[in-house]
Amino acid sequence: MRLRWQLVLSHLGSILLTALVIGLVNVVLLLRGTRTMEGQALDSSLTTARHLLASRLADLQHARDDISTFAAEAGPLSPDIATLGRLHDFLAFYRLERVEVFHGLRKEVEAYRWERGVGRSLATAWLPPKPQIAAQVAFGRPAAWVQKGADGLASLKLCSAVPGGVGDERRWVVLTEPLDGSFLGRIIPVGLVGALRDDHQILVAWPETPPGPDQDIESLLSYLPKGPFAWLFRPVSARRPAVQLDDGSALELVLLSAPIRSGQSLVQGLRAWFLVTVCGSLLALAIGSGLAARLLAPLNALLEGTAAMARGHLMVRLPTGRGDELGSLTREFNRMADEIRNTYLGMISTLAEIVEAKSHYTREHIDRVERLAMATAEVLERRGWVRFSSHQRFLLSVAAILHDVGKIAIANEILNKSGPLDTTEREQILTHPEVGALIVERMGKLERAAEIIRCAHEHFDGSGYPRGLRGEEIPLESRIILAVDAFDAMTIKRPYSAGRSSEAAIAELRTEAGRQFDPVVVEALIEVVTKESGADVDPSSDSGLYRVIHSDSDAGYRLVSAPPPANRA
């Protein structure tokens, strides 16, 4: 895996780990908060339920007093139609289920509603079984107790003495409120499960009623509405005494609530967590990728520089702007590249000196050819016809210096002969480009320079040597060196030829443009020598064969089209 992606992934991993921990803490806190809220909501519901219960008890007490007054005014009651009709009016008015009037232990009259008050087990078991209640009733004080019938149905009894009775004449009114689902359903808020229990057991539960003998609160859980992740949370429960009975016991109200909000909070928390983690990861990926790219840019440059060096690009030099370890590494690389380049230049210089030693006039020629070649390349670049990299410029320079290195292998007599050469001598002379190329090739990393040297005597029209290449087949650098070499050869004195003037040489160059020389190179060279010698030559005039040459690789150049005439001016 690339170093960049390793950095990005490590960055992402740390972000994910952080998000995981923060998300977990967040969800836990959210759930705790929700749980507290659920508990508070249930407490509030419990308070409401207690108020409703208290309100109902107040109604019952009011009804009990009202009926007691009626019983006192009416005197002994008989179960005739009129009395029953009156008692039923009370039942309807106060929404009572059953009312009984006792004279001592004898029931004078009773009235009940058919829906809930008709059950036999609801009839009051007189006297109340508990001694405290019996004593309270016997002394004529109001009393409340819970009676449980044989069928398991519990009912709340409210009793008060009818005013005016004394001793055996004492009469009581007993109201009965069945503690059934209908009673509890009106008290317990919607969506909750609840129960009313005394000290020992559940008396009634909602919504399932009547409860079985062993029923506990847990058995009611199945009636709670189901929400998301319901299996994960325990239902919220709350209990509080609701009714204080006269036997000293109390009825306790128990409420259960499904943890729906907790489930919803968990879903929301997980959702937020997921989204934040994913968005954070994407952000971390983007930022990490950018940071890694910035951090690794010098390393990439070093990698590319090293690869270029390995390919023979001896002019490589990297920017050294950073002050950190990577900056030091870059500086060391540049130093190493300089060392290698200098070694090569030393070898080239040595070869040049050997050539110089072989021929007394060649040294000047070499210098001039190298200078004019570089100047011509610059003009070509300025005119926008070609673009040289630093490495190409270096190779041009090397090739220009060593273009005649093959002459080492040619006998001095032939090389310095002032008269015309015979065929054998000429054949020997013709081998020097190939020999020079072989010498340079063996130096390593200079294959391209060797190729330039090999082609430095090829003519534009294909009449050159050693391979007879033509036009674009000949490397541009070779074409430059050929023209420059020829120009210099024409303008200096040589054993076999007297030197010509610059104007004459330029004229000769123009004459040979398109034949021996590349016209484009000729024009660039003319511009160079014109500026140098101040010769009266129109620099803008040329052979008329213009071309644009673009470089797209180190290996060669590509002609595309002729520029518009206006650019030539």
Closest to 228 measured CA to CA, from 261, 256, 195, 180: 261
Q: Binding to other proteins by residue 152, rule CB under 8 A? A: no
143 touching other proteins, by CB under 8 A: no
**115 lines the binding site for other proteins (CB under 8 A):** yes
What's the DSSP call for residue 551?
E
CB 495 → other proteins: shortest distance, Å?
Answer: 59
Alpha-carbon gap, residue 561 to 156, rounded angstroms: 111
Among 11, 64, 116, 432, interactor with other proteins by CB under 8 A: 116
- Helix boundaries (H) for 359-386: 362-382
Among 33, 163, 164, 207, binds other proteins (CB under 8 A): 207
Contact between 278 and other proteins (CB under 8 A)?
yes
Q: Which of 22, 52, 72, 84 binds other proteins (CB under 8 A)?
A: 84
For other proteins (CB under 8 A), the number of binding residues is 51
Binding span for other proteins by CB under 8 A among 13-21, 236-244, 279-287, 435-443: 279-287
Which residues make beta-bridge pairs with 491?
Answer: none
Q: Measured between alpha carbons, how far is residue 206 from residues 58, 96, 111 in Å?
A: 22, 20, 27
Using the rule CB under 8 A, which residue among 268, 306, 334, 416 binds other proteins?
268
Rule CB under 8 A: is residue 496 a binding residue for other proteins? Answer: no
Of residues 217 through 236, those in contact with other proteins by CB under 8 A are 222-223, 225-228
Residue that has been written with the tokens 């909501």 in this structure: 41
Nearer Cβ to other proteins (202/437): 202
CA distances (Å), origin 385, targets 492, 509, 523, 532: 30, 20, 12, 22
Assess 182 for contact with other proteins (CB under 8 A): yes
Among 249, 264, 306, 320, binds other proteins (CB under 8 A): 264
Q: State the DSSP string of 526-558.
A: HHHHHHHH-----TT---S----EEE-SSS-EE
User: What's the alpha-carbon Rg for the chain, to the nearest Å?
Assistant: 58
Tell whether residue 212 is a contact of other proteins (CB under 8 A): no
Give the pair of three-digit tokens for residue 15: 């972000």
Using the rule CB under 8 A, is 563 a contact of other proteins?
Answer: no
561/527 Cα distance (integer angstroms): 22
* Member of 132, 201, 289, 320 binding other proteins (CB under 8 A): 289
| CB closer to other proteins out of 91 and 509 | 91
Task: Decide: is 261 part of the binding site for other proteins (CB under 8 A).
Answer: no
State yes or no: residue 296 binds other proteins (CB under 8 A).
no
Which residue from 31, 37, 39, 32 is spatially nearest to 255, judged by alpha carbons?
A: 39
Q: Is 324 helix (H, G, I), strand (E, B) or coil?
A: coil
Q: How far is CA 48 from CA 52, 62, 211, 236, 307, in A?
A: 6, 21, 23, 17, 83
Q: Which of 31, 63, 91, 474 binds other proteins (CB under 8 A)?
A: 91
Tokens (6 digits) for 202: 């559940």
Does 119 interact with other proteins (rule: CB under 8 A)?
yes
- Bridge pairing between strands 202-206 and 193-197: antiparallel
- Of 458, 307, 304, 310, which Cα lies nearest the Cα of 319? 304
The maximal CA–CA distance of the chain, rounded, in angstroms, is 173
CB of 95 vs other proteins, minimal distance in Å: 9
Cβ proximity to other proteins: between 304 and 427 the closer is 304
Query: Nearest distance from residue 182's CB to other proteins, in Å?
Result: 6
Binding site for other proteins (CB under 8 A): 2, 79-82, 84-85, 88-89, 91-93, 111-120, 180-182, 185, 190-191, 207-209, 222-223, 225-228, 260, 264, 267-268, 270-271, 274-275, 278-279, 281-282, 285, 289
